[in-house]
């Protein structure tokens, strides 16, 4: 209750309400959303801090909450001692570092720093100063107790899908928490505070009044409010990130959401409540200590920034160790261009896992041209599978859907009213089958119904159990087709609806131009989306398109193929000078990245001339899959010397194994992104690289390049940083151990065990191979084949790119006339590695 400077009580009504709201909004604005488990969008958790240099952010986060941005020194020491980071890499990093400002550190200093952790001091919260060190051994530590209580309350409040009984309460998050607090008679025992429950009645029910009251109890000066609030949010960062996601969803409608500010208010109120409960002497001493600590906040950040200089150099040295080999591949002799007209074109997602398939196909046959395009294939859709009420976004998380796609039942590939009756029949049949499945799933929860259900189902139940004990070598089954009668499932096709012809032509023209296929089309064009395959995996969607809400690419690929096969759309394109040859046929396919099998769709619509081409393509896909499985096998502890058939069965069983924690590695070890013609990457092993086809000759105004830099490049930056953050700070930005996961609300996130904060980011098994970190936390290196002035103009028009590049969140190279160049604060410098 003592003010910092005057040691007088600061009444709640003396708090500047407008200043308080600005501080709350500033703190809340620093939290990046975390998407739900079933809609995984890989994000840079520091996205809302990219306006500051990366080392400044690292220092501030260390002081505010003991967060880590750079790789741990133990990780770097392992790379150094193993020789993967060489003295030449360290010198190259120091040279780059010196170009950014005065160098206060030497190579010897960097090596010496590896022997100990950096000396960083986290600013304490009031609860840390109030908590009695002796009593901590006899009851819950107060900080951990606060996180547990708030986390359990949030899990109950946000549950809409999992619990069979839901707690009633106030519709606001703060009001619900307030009611929960008053109703929990075990808090006094948890916190070791007899009579604590009586103190709760002083807590205002209105969140604005509660924030003023609590801040008055802390006595911090206005200048420190926002930073202190940031520290409070970081203490429950998982749920703060979820509340930020709720707010993100309301941005398109221009609405605000109160739940993140209310979460902060509840966390602030906890500080004040424990101050009231601690007794006058302890309270006054803690508040004085809090004031003394936070008075030197700026100095502590400056000290942390200096202490982390070695860590920033080692981050650059780690990147140099990768870039050395990467640059050598880019500088190697360019293979002779393929002059033969392609028989087929296969268009893949830019996903790093597609690189292996492209490389294998091109090694098998010169008659297939492979291309890469953003995984939503340029159509920003929300998809409604037949017989469901969902409208599922399938596009990068940076964008919002504007095109509706839904399943249409049609034999001809054309939407027609006559198909409505059949669609209704299929929908009814699916609902009935899904109801039976729901009863099956209910046996997992309801012990009193399990035995009677087993008795009724008989041997069929045992078959389910056998599948868990001995996983079958069965191919992937799409979740979007579960419950559909097999006889007519093939006629259920994702198609664009609700767009008039002019809008469809606009969409088709934009996709073809961005893809670079305006007038260079093969007789068969396959849009190949991708999906993972796994069982009993809360983070399954992270194995699908990690940029596009964790969705399989099937609906996007098939919908685009139907659009471009439409005769009316083709006629509209001809009117704009875009002539799709009459013999060209588009089709959708899906690459299963867990087993490297490719499935084609809508084969019944193939014209006679396309059938032999598809049969050959199918064979090439199969042969490519064999090669890729052998290449991937050692990293998954699989014997690559098995026969092709045995190896495929092994991969399939792995995908169907409910106990498998690593069905595949996903995007682990991603490191680079190339925007340029395939000739720049063809014939080289670049399996840590995202690839997007682009030819500057067909983009004289740079409009396509700008879309790629503001779209796929930023998406890859988000992907890179989620893997980086989950590796460098697995406690705050990683989901922990899969074996200990408990799913919250079926999709919100996971607890590791039965409590603690909501865990966000990637689970450890997606990054760590059991012996060490399999992912190498390097910043994304982007290489663009385009004129320097075009790239500079785009950066100038889009300040977000300047912040990312100038503050060290991403590295940019380009192909110069005869050498690679790197971007440095508006300059293009020779590449040293």
Assign 8 a pLDDT band (cuts: 50, 70, 90): very low
What are the tens digits of pLDDT across the range 196-237?
888 898 999 999 999 999 999 888 899 999 999 999 999 999
pLDDT of residue 134: 61
What are the tens digits of pLDDT across the range 533-577?
999 999 999 999 878 889 999 999 999 999 999 999 999 999 999
Assign 765 a pLDDT band (cuts: 50, 70, 90): very high
pLDDT of residue 465: 62
Residue 137 predicted with pLDDT over 70: no
CB 515 within 8 A of CB 439: no
Assign 167 a pLDDT band (cuts: 50, 70, 90): low
* Average pLDDT of the segment spanning 489-513: 93
pLDDT of residue 5: 34
Q: Would residue 736 be called left, alpha or beta, if left means φ above 0 and alpha means ψ between -120 and 50 degrees?
A: left
What are the tens digits of pLDDT across the range 377-402?
999 999 999 888 888 999 998 888 99
What are the tens digits of pLDDT across the range 302-341?
999 999 999 999 999 999 999 999 999 999 877 777 767 8
**pTM of the prediction?**
0.94
* Average pLDDT of the segment spanning 252-264: 94
pLDDT of residue 434: 65
* Sign of the alpha-carbon torsion through 283, 289, 291, 294: negative
Q: Give the C-alpha separation, 574 to 508, whole Å.
A: 12
pLDDT of residue 139: 82
Mean pLDDT (the chain, rounded): 90
CB 382 within 8 A of CB 393: yes
Write the CA distances from 446 to 407, 439, 453, 459, 515, integer angstroms. Answer: 34, 10, 10, 20, 52
CB 745 within 8 A of CB 538: no
What are the tens digits of pLDDT across the range 416-446?
655 555 566 666 767 666 666 555 445 444 4
Q: What is the Cα 399 distance to its own chain's centre?
A: 14
| Radius of gyration of the chain, Cα coordinates, nearest whole angstrom | 29
Q: Of 113-127, 476-490, 762-776, which gets the smallest average pLDDT?
A: 476-490
pLDDT of residue 123: 97
Q: Of 25-34, 245-254, 387-396, which gets the smallest average pLDDT?
A: 387-396
Q: Give the C-alpha separation, 278 to 290, whole Å.
A: 15
Q: What is the Cα 416 distance to its own chain's centre?
A: 38
Most distant CA atoms of the chain, gap in Å: 89
pLDDT of residue 659: 93
What are the tens digits of pLDDT across the range 85-102?
999 999 999 999 888 878
Both tokens assigned to 71: 């790789």
What are the tens digits of pLDDT across the range 667-710?
999 999 999 999 999 999 999 999 999 999 999 999 999 999 99
List the alpha helices (DSSP H) in 308-415: 309-331, 352-364
In 3-state terms, what secondary structure has residue 472? Answer: coil
Give the DSSP H or E segment for 58.
helix 54-65
Task: Say what percent of the chain tops pLDDT 70.
Answer: 90
Give the DSSP H or E segment for 404.
strand 403-409
Q: Give the C-alpha separation, 731 to 740, whole Å.
A: 14
* Average pLDDT of the segment spanning 25-32: 98
Strand 381-384 and strand 392-394: the pairing is: antiparallel
Q: Which residue has the tokens 């109703």?
A: 183
pLDDT of residue 387: 80
pLDDT of residue 607: 96
Closest CA to 684 of 356, 201, 204, 411: 356
Residue 824 predicted with pLDDT over 70: yes
Q: Which residue has the tokens 């993972």?
A: 532
pLDDT of residue 10: 54
* Average pLDDT of the segment spanning 181-188: 90
What are the tens digits of pLDDT across the range 619-663?
999 999 999 999 999 999 999 999 999 999 999 999 999 999 999
Count of C-beta atoms within a 10 Å radius of residue 148: 16
* Average pLDDT of the segment spanning 67-73: 98
Residue 734 predicted with pLDDT over 90: yes
Residue 132 predicted with pLDDT over 80: no
pLDDT of residue 117: 94
pLDDT of residue 80: 98
* Sign of the alpha-carbon torsion through 565, 567, 573, 577: positive
Residues 477-511 as b or e (16 or more Cβ within 10 Å = b):
ebebbebbeeeebebbbbbbeeeeeeebbebbbeb
**φ and ψ of 743, to 5 deg:** -80, 135
pLDDT of residue 99: 82
Q: What is the Cα 515 distance to its own chain's centre?
A: 24
């Amino acid at each position: 209750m003592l003010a910092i400077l005057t040691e007088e009580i600061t009444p709640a009504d003396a708090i500047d309400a407008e200043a308080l709201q600005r501080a709350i909004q500033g703190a809340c604005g620093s939290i990046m959303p975390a998407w739900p488990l079933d809609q995984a969008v890989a994000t840079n958790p520091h996205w809302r801090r990219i306006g500051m240099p990366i080392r400044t952010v690292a220092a501030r986060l260390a002081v505010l909450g003991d967060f880590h941005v750079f790789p741990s020194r133990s990780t770097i020491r392992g790379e150094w001692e193993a020789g993967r980071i060489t003295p030449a890499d360290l010198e190259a990093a120091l040279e780059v570092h010196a170009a950014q400002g005065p160098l206060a550190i030497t190579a010897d200093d960097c090596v010496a720093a590896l022997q100990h952790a950096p000396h960083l001091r986290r600013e304490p919260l009031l609860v840390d100063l109030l908590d009695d060190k002796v009593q901590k051994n006899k009851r819950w530590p107060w900080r951990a107790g606060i996180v547990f209580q708030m986390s359990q309350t949030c899990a109950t409040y946000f549950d809409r899908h999992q619990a069979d009984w839901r707690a009633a309460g106030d519709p606001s998050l703060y009001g619900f928490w307030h009611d929960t607090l008053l109703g929990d008679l075990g808090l006094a025992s948890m916190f070791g505070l007899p009579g604590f429950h009586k103190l709760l009645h002083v807590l205002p029910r209105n969140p604005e009044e509660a924030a003023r009251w609590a801040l008055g109890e802390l006595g911090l000066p206005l200048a420190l409010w926002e930073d202190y609030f940031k520290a409070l949010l970081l203490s429950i960062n998982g749920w703060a990130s979820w509340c930020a996601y709720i707010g993100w969803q309301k941005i398109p409608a221009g609405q605000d959401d109160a739940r993140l500010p209310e979460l902060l208010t509840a966390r602030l109120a906890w500080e004040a409540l424990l101050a009231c409960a601690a007794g006058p002497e302890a309270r006054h001493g803690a508040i004085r200590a809090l004031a003394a600590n936070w008075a030197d906040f700026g100095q502590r950040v400056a000290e942390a920034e200096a202490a982390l200089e070695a860590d920033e150099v080692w981050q650059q040295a780690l990147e140099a160790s990768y870039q050395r080999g990467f640059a050598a591949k880019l500088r190697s002799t360019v293979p002779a261009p393929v002059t033969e007209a392609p028989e087929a074109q296969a268009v893949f997602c830019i996903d790093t896992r597609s690189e292996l398939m492209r490389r294998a196909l091109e090694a098998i046959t010169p008659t297939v041209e492979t291309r890469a395009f953003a995984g939503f294939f340029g159509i920003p859709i929300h998809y409604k599978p037949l017989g469901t009420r969902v409208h599922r976004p399938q596009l990068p998380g940076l964008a919002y859907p504007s095109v509706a796609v839904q399943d249409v039942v049609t034999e001809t590939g054309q939407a027609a009213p006559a198909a409505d009756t059949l669609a209704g029949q299929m929908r009814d049949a699916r609902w009935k089958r899904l109801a039976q499945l729901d009863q099956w799933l209910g046996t997992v929860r309801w012990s009193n119904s399990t035995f009677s259900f087993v008795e009724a189902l008989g041997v069929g139940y045992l078959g389910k159990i056998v599948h868990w004990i001995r996983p079958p070598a069965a191919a992937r089954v799409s979740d979007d087709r579960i419950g559909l009668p097999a006889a007519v499932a093939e006629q259920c096709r994702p198609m664009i609806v609700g767009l008039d012809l002019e809008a469809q032509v606009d969409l088709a023209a934009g996709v073809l131009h961005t893809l670079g296929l305006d007038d260079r089309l093969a007789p068969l064009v396959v849009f190949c989306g991708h999906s993972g395959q796994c069982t009993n995996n809360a983070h399954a969607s992270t194995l699908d398109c990690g940029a596009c809400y964790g969705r399989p690419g099937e609906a996007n690929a098939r919908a685009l193929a139907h659009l471009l096969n439409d005769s009316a759309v083709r006629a509209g394109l001809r009117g704009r000078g875009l002539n799709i040859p009459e013999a060209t046929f588009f089709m959708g396919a899906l690459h299963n990245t867990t087993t490297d099998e490719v499935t084609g769709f809508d084969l019944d619509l193939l014209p006679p001339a396309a059938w032999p081409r598809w049969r050959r393509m199918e064979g090439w896909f199969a042969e490519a899959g064999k090669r890729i499985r052998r290449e991937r096998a050692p990293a998954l502890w699989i014997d690559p010397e098995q026969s092709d058939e045995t190896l495929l069965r092994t991969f399939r069983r792995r995908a169907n194994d409910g106990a498998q924690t690593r069905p595949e590695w996903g995007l682990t070890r991603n490191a680079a992104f190339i925007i340029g013609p395939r000739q720049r990457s063809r014939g080289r092993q670049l399996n840590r690289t995202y690839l997007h086809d682009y030819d500057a000759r067909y983009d004289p105004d740079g409009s396509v390049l700008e879309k790629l830099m503001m779209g796929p490049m930023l998406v890859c930056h988000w992907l890179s940083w989620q893997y980086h953050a989950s590796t460098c700070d697995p406690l705050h930005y990683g989901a922990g151990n899969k074996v200990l996961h408990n799913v919250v609300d079926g999709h919100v996130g996971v607890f590791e065990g039965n409590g603690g904060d909501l865990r966000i980011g990637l689970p450890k098994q997606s990054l760590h191979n059991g012996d060490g970190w399999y992912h190498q936390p390097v910043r994304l290196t982007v290489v663009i084949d385009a004129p320097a002035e075009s790239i500079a103009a785009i950066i100038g028009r889009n300040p977000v790119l300047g912040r990312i590049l100038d503050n060290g969140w991403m590295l940019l190279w380009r192909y110069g006339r005869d050498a690679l160049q790197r971007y440095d604060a508006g300059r293009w410098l020779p590449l040293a590695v």
